Homo-oligomer: A and B are copies of this chain.
Amino acid sequence: MLTERQLLILQVIIDDFIQTARPVGSRALSKKNSIPYSAATIRNEMADLEDMGYLEKTHLSSGRIPSEQGYRYYVDHMISPVTKFNQDMNVIKNFINDGFFEFEQLVQMSAEVLSELTNYTSIILGPELFETKLKQLQIITLSPNSAVAILVTNTGYVEHRSFSVPAEINPADLEKMVNILNDRLQGVPIVRLPEMFHSEITDLMKAYIHDFDKSYDYLKAAFLQEQPVKLYIGGKSNLLRQPEFNDVDKIRAFYTMIENENEMAHLLKGTSGGIKVTIGHENKADAIKDFSLITASYQLGGDQMGTIALLGPTRMEYRKVITLLDVLSNEMTDALYLWYKNTD
């Protein structure tokens, strides 16, 4: 268990290091008003904190920096609710309540605002279709040999895809099929669409449609092809301003990782509700063992919808980031609730 004094010293060291990115030494600490002990005393405490694993040295005679365990303790026990960031919180609230016009836009702007306020990189994983339901399917013929397929969910999500129609397929047939599908599939959860397509519908349609198999394959491809995950990343270049990024190799590693959308999406997925902080080696992905990731989710009526995250150096302004993420995810959840309430 840490003593009062150790707590104080640990906290001040971490706060200071987060600000300056430089190892903090006993003498500098002893000069602060908040710390009424001599350098020697502080040295003793620091040595103890190091033994306990909360601090580290960068080399034998350097000042101390927080270890990952130190950050962990800091995040778990030392982040009292702060009103210090009121101004930033208002920025978020205002921009959300400004009224948004489109869901994707809201998400994208959130990412930008967030990384601007924090100077870290923000990542937003778009809504999962998991719990949404089909509102409408539609096929629009553009020419004898091309068409565009549109799928709309009850949450207003629109997917579309244009494709060419081979000569042997009759566009009119396609439209007929889509009409039938529309009647029968409305309200079906998107995830169940593939099986419904297959099991329930085909019998009915076979009777009506000439050359059914080919047309069916076509529709299936048009509507059910898997969509890539939606990932918005804001402020990629922000991190370059952090002093830990003075090393070209680190930059390379960072950008190589961040451009791998699949890996990023994988990283964010599976974070359930609430705010979660992952520090350094706690991260599964090797590429961000030097980073901390803070995730929060925004929701629509209890079903998790998406994830907001901030990625920064382990030396991160945890307080600020946690506060802001909390506000943002609540505001988004509220906004989405208002937005979609009464949706079937």
Contact = CB atoms under 8 A, between A and B. Distances in A.
A101 B161 contact: yes
Given A158-B160, A164-B339, A237-B252, A152 B143 contact: no
Interface footprint category on A: 35 or more
Contacts of A156: 142, 146-148, 162
A33 interface: no
A266 interface: no
Contacts of A30: none
Contacts of A148: 152, 156, 158
- Count the copies: 2
B142 A103 contact: no
A341 interface: yes
Contacts of A319: none
Interface stretch (A20-28, A34-42, A243-251, A289-297): A243-251
Nearest to A256: B237
Given A152-B140, A163-B102, A340-B143, A237 B259 contact: yes
Given A225-B101, A248-B240, A135 B146 contact: no
Contact of A255 (B162, B236, B248): B236
A58 interface: no
Interface string A83-102: 00000000000000001011
A80 interface: no
Nearest to A101: B163
Contacts of A99: 164
A61 interface: no
Nearest to A246: B248
Interface in A202-258: 221, 225, 236-237, 240-241, 245-248, 251-252, 255-256
User: Which interface residue of A99, A162, A241 has the most chain B CB atoms within 10 A?
Assistant: A162
A256 B241 CA distance: 11
Contacts of A246: 248
Q: Which 8 A-B pairs have the closest CB atoms?
A: A156-B162, A237-B255, A158-B160, A143-B342, A143-B343, A148-B156, A102-B161, A240-B252
Interface of A: 99, 101-103, 135-136, 138, 140, 142-148, 150, 152, 154-156, 158, 160-164, 221, 225, 236-237, 240-241, 245-248, 251-252, 255-256, 259, 338-344
8 contacts: A142-B340, A143-B342, A145-B341, A147-B156, A150-B152, A156-B162, A158-B158, A237-B256
